[in-house]
Chain A
């Protein structure tokens, strides 16, 4: 079961080991504890990768390959592409993809900035990371 979807801000923070990224790592550990999974939307991964240092990029590559039962890289499905494209005027593509996967898997979206997503999702489905 995919319990939580990460957006680019959460993924990039994790990879950069920012001081507040412990919140993300402990969330991942909790999800794994119940044998569930964290979803990493492809568009969020790409956005985080582009924003990351070479060292953080190495972390990202390892992140999506070393625990495939618990960290699921989620491809953008063909039928979702027009939706992402049409919403990108109002919301960053990584967040749109995160919301689509959230809806698909009935999972929460975790982000360091949930406010842009508030128009498109119920507040209870969004996790504001601190």
Chain B
């Protein structure tokens, strides 16, 4: 079941859709991702956890660095 909607987007945001094959699927995926983040945030709050933007950013950097090290290690093995 789907619904046809007419929505308005800022020009710079709408421009992103110019380069995707299926704009509806792209927007639907973005909404699902946003909703899931909201679900997780609500769960963390319900469980009494305070999440800071700084803490999340620190994890983003740490995981990105771990990904880089892992990729480098694999590239070394493949040589």
Using A17-B47, A108-B63 as known contacts, say yes or no to A29 and B56 having CB atoms under 8 A apart. Answer: yes
- Is B43 a contact partner of A30 (Cβ separation < 8 A)? no
Chain B residues within 8 Å of A67, by CB:
36, 39-40, 43
Interface string of A20-32 (1 = CB under 8 A from B): 0111011111101
Q: Which residues of A contact B (CB under 8 A)?
A: 3-4, 14-15, 17, 21-23, 25-30, 32-33, 35, 59, 62-63, 66-67, 69-71, 108, 122, 124-125, 127
Give B40-79 as 1s and 0s: 1 = Cβ < 8 Å from A's Cβ atoms.
Answer: 1101101111111001101110110010011001000000
- A66 proximity list for chain B (CB < 8 A): 39, 43, 46
A-B contacts, 26 of them at CB < 8 A, read A14-B47, A14-B49, A15-B47, A21-B49, A22-B52, A23-B55, A25-B44, A25-B47, A25-B51, A26-B51, A28-B44, A29-B41, A29-B44, A32-B37, A33-B56, A35-B36, A62-B47, A67-B39, A69-B39, A70-B36, A70-B39, A71-B40, A108-B63, A108-B66, A124-B70, A127-B66
What would 6 more interface pairs be, CB under 8 Å, given A14-B49, A26-B56, A28-B44?
A: A22-B50, A29-B51, A30-B56, A62-B43, A67-B36, A67-B39
B23 in the interface, Cβ–Cβ < 8 Å? no
Interface pair A28/B33, CB less than 8 Å apart: no
